[in-house]
Structure 1
């Protein structure tokens, strides 16, 4: 890989004697692959999990994270037991220290690495709003969230400014893994280095400030902002943190992680920058990353030039939402109760209907009027004529309750046949059943006429 000339000159000046090792790591170094376990599903399938991790070395950030590679068409991937993620990227959610019962926003969330890690740390309790502004990427995000199986996650598709009216000073923590110049991904993504220009970091800095201004408006006073990039540029790292302190009144909370490098205090303008973290590819395993934790100390009124522009709580936006909740008829209530009696699921949230589908949604999620929701919550069932059928996402639920569901454990050969769209011969009574492989749930099937009729989504089947 050929690094841009202006990039080399810049970091020769900034890094001095470190520069040569830094350039060598980008030009000739090799990135590491890693994955995280889904802690609830790991407990459901302990033997499969043990075989999976084998002698893998622990990755440094996040619970149950390991170095190694997982294939995309493996049972553990398609059933949401694992999430493949670059090891340095795991530090972002790790620093957020999400807790059960909190309200958290992952503002720039696709493809879903941070969201799945945050969801697991929250143990399925509270509310996690996972947002992506680009519709195609929001769809990928929703698919990964469904596979992970945590019921308290809602996926939205908005710009940060559009979200503020729905969530003013609402969240305990906001995670902003900001769009950046991507210098930390140069050896992983050659187009990133080809597109880099000397002005790129400053252009990105302007966009990051716009995003962060809106992010802070959605953070409670005393709430924590986790800001991260995958770039080395001081303009997008220490200078942005300095701006958050000087202009928006946030304070830096020092991050304590072993094996990490400190932020460079000489690259910013406020005290405490050494409490931020940098990951350098010539010093740590993984790609380049920067992360900072800050605490909001002032109410959001100071961020508005005109107080008449301040969002009011519960104020409905005029634009039509992508999905509008509907009421259940008495007949539908009966169908739903029968489904949940067979597949019991006890949570403190609410059941909502969008179109013909029923979703579980966290209790704290506000009125969805005006919100675009690629995923309104955990998809449980779909109403058909005179019945309701369980949806695939419900089979992927990460909750110990699934151990009580009626199930059939398939062999590896049966699993492969089912994943390719085939039905399987199986004696027994007619009913919906959960299918598992080595005790790991992965799908529903309609058990009827001596067969397990294939209900696996056609778009996900193996060809």
Structure 2
């Protein structure tokens, strides 16, 4: 039985009046569980045997406000299934899926997720972008930023950059730059009470006030980055009006050029979800005004240059890219093409920075920012060779994109062996880099010699 703070009960009784009793009774019900399909891997609209298998295995039922979202039965534990490691879906509370649906990013948009960890809304945005445009996912806390980066990788996102910066630092770097922005602000977490007892312990009226003040500070930085005509979704997983409607009203008072388009609330006593608040705002102006490029000191590199060329020589990125192309010729199927991008070398790690058409975005804009993932991780460059990155395997969509592949059945135990870091068997004697798949969906790399495939699944991800 959940014990709610008395001050919280009084707050909700004042806010909801005669509806408060039904709301408070919702805490006696079990929490809701949800997952969202990755449209880069599986499209719920097209159906097919894999989707039907998922429906049967996890008891999936559709989430009404998200076409890629589904409820699942808690006892089925989809997070432990090999399909989760393959990035077929992201486990996300159903109410939280509403925010990106209301923001409605479109392929080609330039989008910022300002407080993005652990990655639910960023990966949802990436699915909407369908590999086009640019997503910058930011998380100020380093540990949480690492988990954000890992989830971006697992879902096979190719056009996202992960950074860890304060909102004001980004506002100085990207004035009037983004078509769409997601501000899933840190909040008092009232919608998390059924799943997280710590959220109850941390709650107090003073904590609510502190959250509201912090949310307004974050939103002020966000407005500075929004392009004229652009849209911003402000969301919280809390119920009180101070962090929700009052914060939005104060923002509108401070910025008359903002227009409130809509607000939506999901209540746990009315809907099948833990609860969420979303407000969508638009910055008045013509949406076809050009993106603002960096000017002044913000445009100048503040740290060492990435890939500085030696006199008479080529940039390190060029040499690293040649090694990667050699790997690609040996390991990837003919016709495989990388998305447009700028090669960037961070130490020995080669990335492909997204290069959206017509957008003044390049590696110089990341100078001075703590960047965890400057685009798609291609390879680790070692002396005279390039070893493929795990992210590259997950960015592939099927086994046909690799010259050699070993397919493991999800229910056979072989996929679990691979995820534990064990050697697996190939179908025949051969040699070379091999894409390991589960029911045709890429899981990672192995290196085959004879009939044995040496495991190259990252040690930090092994079970």
Q: TM-score, normalised by structure 1?
A: 0.87
What is the CA-CA distance between 1:31 and the residue it aligns to?
1.4
Task: Verify: 1:419 aligned to 2:416, yes or no.
Answer: no
Distance across 2 between alignment mates of 1:91 and 1:329? 40
What corresponds to 1:434 in structure 2? Answer: 435
Equivalenced residues, count: 429
Residue number among 308, 312, 315 corresponding to 2:295 in the alignment: 312
What is the CA-CA distance between 1:461 and the residue it aligns to?
1.4
Distance across 2 between alignment mates of 1:374 and 1:278? 34
What is the CA-CA distance between 1:40 and the residue it aligns to?
2.0
What is the CA-CA distance between 1:315 and the residue it aligns to?
2.6
Distance across 1 between alignment mates of 2:225 and 2:396? 28
Distance across 2 between alignment mates of 1:314 and 1:223? 25
Distance across 1 between alignment mates of 2:129 and 2:205? 40
Residue number among 395, 401, 413 corresponding to 2:393 in the alignment: 395
**RMSD in angstroms over aligned alpha carbons?**
2.3
Task: Verify: 1:132 aligned to 2:139, yes or no.
Answer: yes
- Structure 1's 233 and 333: CA in aligned 2 closer, same or farther, altered over 3 A? closer
- Structure 1's 3 and 336: CA in aligned 2 closer, same or farther, altered over 3 A? same
Alignment gaps of 5+ in structure 1: 255-274, 300-309
What corresponds to 2:447 in structure 1? Answer: 446
What is the CA-CA distance between 1:331 and the residue it aligns to?
5.0
Distance across 1 between alignment mates of 2:394 and 2:47? 13
| Residues 317 and 343, structure 2, Cα contact 8 Å, conserved in 1 | no
Q: TM-score, normalised by structure 2?
A: 0.87
Q: SS at 1:430's partner residue?
A: strand
1:96-118 Cα shifts (integer Å, max 9, x gaps): 10111110000000000000100
Task: Verify: 1:37 aligned to 2:24, yes or no.
Answer: no
Q: Give 1:64-463 correspondences, 5 Å limit.
A: 64-68=68-72, 69=74, 70-254=77-261, 275-297=262-284, 312=295, 315-316=298-299, 319-320=302-303, 324-325=306-307, 327-328=315-316, 332-341=320-329, 342-343=331-332, 344-364=336-356, 365-366=361-362, 367=364, 368-397=366-395, 399=397, 403-406=400-403, 407-411=405-409, 412-426=412-426, 427-462=428-463
Q: SS at 1:115's partner residue?
A: helix
| Residues 229 and 237, structure 1, Cα contact 8 Å, conserved in 2 | yes
Alignment gaps of 5+ in structure 2: 287-292, 309-314
Q: SS at 1:396's partner residue?
A: helix
